[in-house]
């Protein structure tokens, strides 16, 4: 399962990239708006920083203009993936882009029915929004499980990207469902690393190591100690 960061913030991307686990980035208009800067510059920086797929989202509501915008976004870098929304215009533009070999990510997917349409237009990625399904008092993980099963049974090659993940257990459950990719915000990435027993265990190991070094510096070669006395 590939791990993506859901952000347009270059500092967050650089930090997680240093861990050696980052396989891609997803951006959307809301994430870009949070950064307040030049959008094209931000995209280019991210495309250069990340050795993996970077999703750039179209913002034109009509199919023809969305298609034209998709062509431009795809040309921004070899790792650019064009995001189109799950709308009738998104399907039309997405199909044309996919037919030209452009990798598309169909976003704003909330049901298995929509995921079938994304696969049928030849999408490279489908993005079901797990957390937002939960927000609507439905079961996001159940939808994800159904999508993974349908894709498996039907032999669809479209990759399932679990998006709108809000906490580490979303990531774990998405992995169990068989998602190909998960995208998560910076804070969820940080929470994946942390465990209180790792912290206390690490503190104890370091304290014991320091104590041993002190002992050795202070002539801790006492034979009686070596015998465990």
Nearer to ligand G3P, 135 or 203 (CB): 135
Q: Shortest gap between Cβ of 26 and ligand G3P (angstroms)?
A: 5
| 131 binds ligand G3P, rule: CB under 6 A | yes
Q: Pick the stretch among 42-50, 128-136, 170-178, 209-217 that binds ligand G3P (CB under 6 A).
A: 128-136
Number of Cβ within a 10 Å radius of residue 47: 17
Least distance CB 185 / ligand G3P (angstroms): 7
Q: Does 53 engage in binding with ligand G3P (CB under 6 A)?
A: no
Which of 135, 93, 130, 89 lies closest to 112, judged by CA?
130
Specify the pairing of strand 159-162 against strand 181-184.
Answer: parallel
User: Smallest distance from the beta carbon of 148 to ligand G3P, in angstroms?
Assistant: 17
Residue 69 contacts ligand G3P per CB under 6 A: no
Q: How far is the CB of 169 from ligand G3P (least distance, A)?
A: 15
The residue within the footprint of ligand G3P, chosen from 28, 58, 69, 105 (CB under 6 A), is: 28
Cα separation of the two ends of the chain: 51
Torsions phi, psi for 6 (to 5 deg): -100, 85
**Are 143 and 128 contacting, i.e. CB atoms less than 8 angstroms apart?**
yes
132 forms part of the interface with ligand G3P (CB under 6 A)? yes
Q: Which stretch binds ligand G3P (CB under 6 A): 98-106, 124-132, 147-155, 174-182?
A: 124-132
Q: Is 214 helix (H, G, I), strand (E, B) or coil?
A: helix
- CB-count burial class (<10 Å; 0-12, 13-18, 19+) for 61: exposed
Q: Where are the alpha helices (DSSP H) in the chain?
A: 10-17, 29-35, 39-49, 63-74, 88-99, 112-120, 130-135, 140-154, 168-177, 186-193, 196-217, 223-226
Q: Indicate whether 7 belongs to the interface with ligand G3P (CB under 6 A).
A: no
State the catalytic residue, choosing from 41, 83, 191, 226. Answer: 83
Please tell me whether residue 168 binds ligand G3P under the rule CB under 6 A.
Answer: no
Taking the complex as a whole, how short is the minimal distance between the CB of residue 84 and ligand G3P, in angstroms? 13
Rule CB under 6 A: is residue 9 a binding residue for ligand G3P? no
CB within 8 Å of 92: residues ≥ 6 apart = 63, 67
Task: Quote the CA–CA distance of 31 and 55 in Å, as a whole number.
Answer: 12
6 is a site residue for ligand G3P (CB under 6 A): yes
Active site includes 83? yes
Active-site positions read 83
Q: State the residues that interact with ligand G3P by CB under 6 A.
A: 6, 26, 28, 129, 131-132, 163-164, 183
């Amino acid at each position: 399962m590939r791990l993506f960061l859901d952000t347009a913030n270059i500092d967050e991307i650089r930090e997680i990239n240093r861990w050696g686990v980052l396989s891609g980035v997803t951006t959307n208009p809301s994430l870009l708006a949070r950064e307040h800067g030049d959008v094209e510059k931000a995209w280019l920086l991210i495309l250069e920083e990340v050795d993996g797929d970077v999703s750039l989202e179209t913002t034109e509501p009509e199919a023809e203009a969305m298609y034209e915008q998709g062509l431009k976004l795809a040309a921004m870098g070899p790792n650019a993936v064009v995001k189109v929304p799950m709308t009738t215009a998104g399907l039309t533009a997405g199909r044309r882009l996919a037919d030209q070999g452009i990798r598309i990510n169909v976003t704003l997917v909330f049901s298995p029915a929509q995921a079938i349409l994304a696969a049928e237009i030849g999408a490279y990625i489908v993005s079901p929004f797990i957390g937002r399904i939960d927000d609507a008092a439905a079961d996001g993980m159940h939808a994800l499980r159904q999508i993974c099963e349908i894709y498996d049974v039907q032999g669809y090659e479209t990759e399932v990207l679990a998006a709108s993940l809000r906490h580490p257990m979303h990531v774990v459950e998405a992995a169990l469902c068989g998602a190909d990719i998960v995208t998560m915000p910076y804070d969820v990435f940080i929470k994946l690393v942390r465990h209180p027993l790792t912290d206390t265990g690490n503190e104890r190991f370091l304290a014991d190591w320091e104590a041993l070094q002190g002992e050795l510096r202070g002539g801790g070669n006492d034979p009686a100690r070596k015998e465990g006395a």
